[in-house]
């Protein structure tokens, strides 16, 4: 049995990172251990609120008002018997079993809270990932990213500013365009392109009529030969057809060589005009992980065993996008997907309880339940995989219904069934009283 349970004090479980997986883990442990006094569960995050990361492309396009779907960590902690600490992890002392948080600053850079340490008996790192621009010249200076709510809102403001500027001019120029380039044709890139096309239609309906929907010139640039290269071709095929029908220009088979202020330069020599540029290709874990003295790979992910323990560590775990977890014996790793983080959070909730009870841990095995791609109001495409269903292709309204259900399952993990049902009703009523697009 662990020495953390041989004393009267409850075990201290510290979770760093309040993304989907970290928040689900803290909520589960709070309900099952914190409520009974069997553990003191603490969640640390650099923000006060949480929004489900797969929704950020909707925030960027204005289809979703982020304040409507955000969750407050302090309230969630109170309701589910865990603690919340605001801060960014910058250091780790494995011998003393504590982490260091950076000072908290106000908007003017003045220190509100000094740097502090938090003790743990078991540490879980779930800080997610950031976009990997592969050190492409000009990318950091000229591209927007969609890793956080703030970045998604920044893109939305930039898009609205382009429309406002055009709408306010005295002289109307026929055929004037707003050129948007999305680098990366993974799920985020293709879903954002469809949402932007939908936003262009809504903006025209709300009176921004000097730029027609067809004048929002949307380009997707993908280094691979097809869209959605990580997913089966039978999914990327229908998605390609829908985007072609919407007028989205697809540039595949050539990587971005350089990003300039007003265009992209591709490796094949092609130049793509772009006033708004979004980099949505590739991931890497936060760079601070490489300075903790723990084993990391080339994209900063922590190397973990199948129990999700960091290699060489008994008391430190990592999961989600920031962890390189082996999958099978072929040298492959668990893909950085929301369903993997959800599965790993469920396993860790079980394993941490087993540790406190002196029982052996279980190993994580990735289960692929399929992929779903939402193309705004135009369509949805995907496949469902399971022991009972096999591999079933879905398109249209049925696929869209299953896509929305993924978010509802996340809400159920956080709120429970009754509150999730109330949120669904609230969403239905809200649609009839609010604009269908965020206009500020």
Superfamily for 3-129+285-356? FAD/NAD(P)-binding domain (3.50.50.60)
* Model confidence band, residue 174 (pLDDT cutoffs 50, 70, 90): low
Share of the chain above pLDDT 90, in %: 68
Dump pLDDT digits (tens) for 98-138: 999 999 998 888 999 999 999 999 999 999 999 999 999 99
The pTM score is 0.91
* Model confidence band, residue 436 (pLDDT cutoffs 50, 70, 90): low
Cα 166–Cα 172–Cα 177 angle in degrees, nearest 5: 55
Q: What is the mean pLDDT of the chain?
A: 90
Q: Per-domain residue ranges for the chain?
A: 3-129+285-356, 139-279, 370-431
Rounded Cα gap, residues 36 and 45, in angstroms: 24
Dump pLDDT digits (tens) for 23-51: 999 999 999 999 999 999 999 999 999 99
Is 6 a residue whose pLDDT tops 50? Answer: no
* Model confidence band, residue 180 (pLDDT cutoffs 50, 70, 90): very high
CATH topology identical between 3-129+285-356 and 139-279? yes
Is 258 a residue whose pLDDT tops 80? Answer: yes
Beta-bridge partners for 316: 123
pLDDT computed for residue 2 by the predictor: 44
Q: For the residues 66-72, what does the mean pLDDT come to? A: 84
Superfamily for 139-279? FAD/NAD(P)-binding domain (3.50.50.60)
């Amino acid at each position: 049995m662990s020495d953390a349970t041989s004393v009267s004090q409850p075990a201290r479980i510290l979770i760093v990172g309040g993304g989907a997986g970290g928040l689900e883990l803290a909520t589960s442990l709070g309900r099952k251990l914190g409520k009974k006094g069997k553990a003191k569960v603490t969640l640390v995050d650099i923000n006060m609120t949480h929004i489900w990361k797969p929704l950020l492309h909707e925030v960027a396009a204005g289809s979703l008002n982020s304040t409507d779907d955000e969750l407050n960590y302090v309230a969630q902690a109170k309701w589910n018997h865990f603690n919340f600490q605001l801060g960014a992890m910058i250091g780790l002392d494995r011998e003393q079993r504590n982490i260091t948080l950076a000072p908290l600053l106000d908007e003017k850079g003045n220190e509100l809270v000094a740097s502090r340490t938090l003790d743990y008996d078991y540490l879980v790192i779930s800080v997610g990932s950031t976009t990997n621009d592969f050190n492409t010249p000009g990318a950091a200076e000229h591209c927007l990213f969609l890793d956080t709510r703030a970045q998604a809102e920044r893109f939305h403001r930039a898009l609205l500013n382009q429309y406002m500027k055009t709408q306010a001019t005295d002289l109307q120029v026929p055929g004037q365009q707003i050129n948007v380039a999305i680098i990366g044709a993974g799920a985020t890139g293709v879903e954002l392109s469809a949402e932007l096309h939908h936003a262009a239609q809504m903006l025209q309906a709300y009176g921004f009529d000097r730029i027609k929907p067809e004048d929002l010139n949307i380009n997707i640039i993908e280094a691979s030969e097809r869209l959605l290269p990580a997913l089966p071709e039978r999914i990327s095929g229908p998605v390609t057809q829908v985007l072609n029908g919407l007028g989205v220009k697809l540039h595949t088979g050539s990587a971005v060589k350089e990003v300039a202020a007003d265009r992209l330069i591709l490796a094949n020599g092609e130049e793509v005009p772009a006033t708004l540029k979004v980099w949505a290709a590739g991931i890497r874990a936060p760079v601070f992980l490489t300075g903790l003295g723990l084993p990391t790979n080339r994209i900063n992910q922590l190397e973990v065993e199948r129990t999700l323990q960091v290699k060489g560590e008994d008391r430190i775990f990592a999961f989600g996008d920031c962890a390189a977890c082996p999958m099978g014996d072929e040298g492959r790793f668990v893909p950085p997907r929301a369903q993997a983080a959800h599965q790993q959070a469920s396993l860790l909730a079980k394993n941490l309880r087993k540790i406190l009870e002196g029982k052996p841990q279980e190993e994580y095995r990735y289960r692929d339940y399929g992929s779903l791609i939402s193309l705004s109001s135009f369509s949805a495409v995907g496949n469902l995989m399971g022991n009972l269903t096999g591999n079933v292709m879905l398109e249209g309204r049925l696929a869209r219904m299953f896509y929305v259900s993924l978010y509802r399952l996340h809400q159920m993990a956080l709120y429970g069934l009754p509150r999730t049902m109330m949120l669904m009703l609230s969403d239905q009523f809200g649609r009839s009283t609010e604009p269908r697009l965020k206009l500020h």
